[in-house]
Each structure stands twice: as C-alpha cells, then as structure tokens.
Structure 1
Amino acid sequence: MVNLFKRLRKLQTILQVKIGTGAAIFPNPTSATKEFPAVTRLHLTFANKINGGHRGARHFWRNCLPRLKYHNPGVGMTVKRIDDQNGPSALTIYFAEKAGSAATAVANEKKVTDSLAPAPEANEDSVVLDLKNRTDKEIFDRLQIMTNAKTVNATPEDVEMAKKWAAIEAKSGPDRERVKSIRQAKKDQERMLAMARGEVDKDQV
C-alpha cells in the first residue's frame, strides 16, 4: 500500500506540471511565422515578498513556469528574485530575430524595463511584460497573446487520474482525523494507567 501511494504521489506531481494554467507550447523554428517567431528563452524578475504588486509574478513562477518548461524543454528560463519591493516585476520574452506586432503592442500597454534581464543575443529580439498587480492567469493570458503559445489540453487519461487523486484526497482527510483520534485515545489511556499506578501527578492531567 505504501508503494502504491508513492507511485500515486509521483503521478500527481507529474500531473501538476503537465496540465493547468501554463501548459502550452511556444512556436519553434519549424512552426514559427513572421508575426509569431520562435521563442528562444524567458527571464522572470520579481521581489522576494508579495507586497508592492509582486504576488502575481510569484504565483506565475510557482504555478505556470514549471508547466511552460515541461512542455518547452528547449526554451531557456531564468529567474531573478530581488530584495527591493519597488524593483521590477517583469517577464522578458526573447524571440528569434524580431518580435511580432502582437508582442510589441501588449508590452507597450505598460512599459517597463528590467536591467537584471540578460541582453538579447545578436540573433534575438526581446520585449518586457510588466507583471505588477496582475494575477498569474492574467500574465499567462498576455504571454499567450504575445507568443501564440498553443494550450495543451488534458487527455482523458489525465482527467481520469485527476479524478482518482481528488477522490483519494477527499478520503484522506477523514482518515487522518480517525488516525489522530486513535492516537490521542491511546495516549489518554496510557496516561490514565500511569495515574492508576501513581506514576503521574493528577495536577498534570
């Protein structure tokens, strides 16, 4: 049973990075167009604490970035966390050759610079997306518009596994409480026996 739960836990971990917000595939050299060139890499900068508008970037880092990396293993992704809460909360997107008009237009909605992001290579172009006061879902939605990343939908097998894990989680709550109550009852019984033998002062109960 223990091995079964270990396997299920591993499957759940894989499932968490396989589906959900951020599960999408960027254009690559074979699927790229002039408007949506291949994405070569991403760089994310945000503050260590969530105040000052950095909450969304932090959630994007935790939830979306692992899924993007899972589905785009060839795209480099770097992260810089800073102590300055007034510093940038930004996502720099690097394109092969020149960024398309959609990426430029979205980036120009709220112009921001990130001096901590690596400079583009000679064959790259980059745009910077301001992430402050935006949720991780809003960030990902804009990223999709800018890159034309294609959402990866859950397979029937993924859906079935998600349902099974949800059922296990729903059952595990009452099971944990039951085990906890059994352990507490055992402790109470041991204490009462110790009291009967005069090993415990009644005032300590």
Structure 2
Amino acid sequence: MSTSMFKGLPTTRNGRQIARLNALVSGPGALKTPDNLRAMKLIFKLDNKYGHMGARKFWRTHAPVIQYHNPNLQILVTRIETNTDEEAIKVPAKMVLEYDESSGMKPVEIDIKSKMSDEILELFRSAAKATEVPAEDIPVFTTQKNQK
C-alpha cells in the first residue's frame, strides 16, 4: 500500500487509526453548542464548481468533530446534482441552524457559497454561539506498549 495518501500519518496501521481518532476529537471543530441548537443543515452541490468546495471541505473536516462533541446535534447534508452549468450556478450553498421550538428562536440561514471551510467554521461558531471544548475534556488516544 502506498503511504503517499497518508502524508503526515504514522506508517503502521494502528498508528494511523490512532492518529485519525485524535484528529476526529480535536482541532478547530472541537466546539460545544448550546443545548437548544437542534440541527445543522448543509445544502451544497455534489461537485465543487461555482463556490461549493469550502462547504464540502467543512462537511468532511469540521462537521465530524462538531458531531463528536455534540452527539444530540443532528447534522443533515443535502448535496444537489445538476446537469448543466446554468443550473449549477443557481444552486445555493447554505447552512441552516435550527433550534428547539420551546426556545422561541427562529432558524438561522448562513450563505456559505465561495467561502473557505475555516471561514464557514467561524460563521458557524458565531451564529450558533458555540464555545471551544476545554483541552482537558478532549480525549487523547495512544498505544499501550508492553501491555501484559
């Protein structure tokens, strides 16, 4: 197996798995959302053209970390397939934050078209009023050598 697709990861299978687990629970997406935030909906195109790359990168890199730290938050993704460039240009890229009905808050819609994934994360953080997870609450996975 070529290790070029795993640049920066250890070469052993267990080492790669541990590195991936650590990446899943830490990083910029390690945010805690308010309890009244019920769902985050992401809507973007199936392919990356016309400003949808950042939305896809956000979904792949930051959304799993957000989901780990907020297990009750529903993350719903709708990817729209288009047949022509004219259709593709018209497709929005947006994030919708939905709150519990009892909180009285209305859904918040954020335009994420032509934005980088880190910029989308900051828009999410401010709109959702999310806070960083303290470092002591983030698990760190390691190997246990010489275990008997």
TM-score where L is the length of structure 1 = 0.55
Which of 91, 94, 97 is the aligned partner of 2:98?
Answer: 94
Code of the aligned partner of 1:48: L
Task: Determine the structure 1 residue equivalent to 2:13.
Answer: 6
Report deviation, 1:11: 1.2
Deviations 1:50-101 (A, max 9, x none): 11111110110111111111111111111111113231101110012333xx
Q: Say if 1:130 and 1:154 are closer, same or farther in 2 by CA, change over 3 A.
A: same
Higher relative contact order (CA 8 A, sep 6+): 2
Code of the aligned partner of 1:71: H
Task: Determine the structure 1 residue equivalent to 2:115.
Answer: 134
Q: Which runs of 5+ in 1 are unaligned?
A: 29-37, 100-124, 162-205
Q: Does 1:150 align with 2:148?
A: no
Code of the aligned partner of 1:144: R
Contact 2:25 2:139 in 1 (8 A): no
User: What's the Cα RMSD here?
Assistant: 2.2
Partner Cα distance (2:135, 2:115) in 1: 26
Partner Cα distance (2:53, 2:14) in 1: 33
Q: Secondary structure at the match of 1:143?
A: helix
Identity %: 26
Report deviation, 1:6: 2.9
Partner Cα distance (2:41, 2:124) in 1: 13
Code of the aligned partner of 2:23: Q
Deviations 1:125-162 (A, max 9, x none): 3111100111111111111111111112545984x96x
Q: Does 1:21 align with 2:2?
A: no
Code of the aligned partner of 1:92: V
Q: Say if 1:157 and 1:47 are closer, same or farther in 2 by CA, change over 3 A.
A: closer
Deviations 1:100-124 (A, max 9, x none): xxxxxxxxxxxxxxxxxxxxxxxxx
Instruction: Show structure 1 runs of 4+ deviating over 4 A.
Output: 153-158
- Rg larger for: 1
Count residues in correspondence.
123
Report deviation, 1:46: 0.6
Contact 1:19 1:153 in 2 (8 A): no
Compare the two structures and name the one with the higher helix fraction. 1
Which of 35, 50, 67 is the aligned partner of 2:48?
Answer: 50
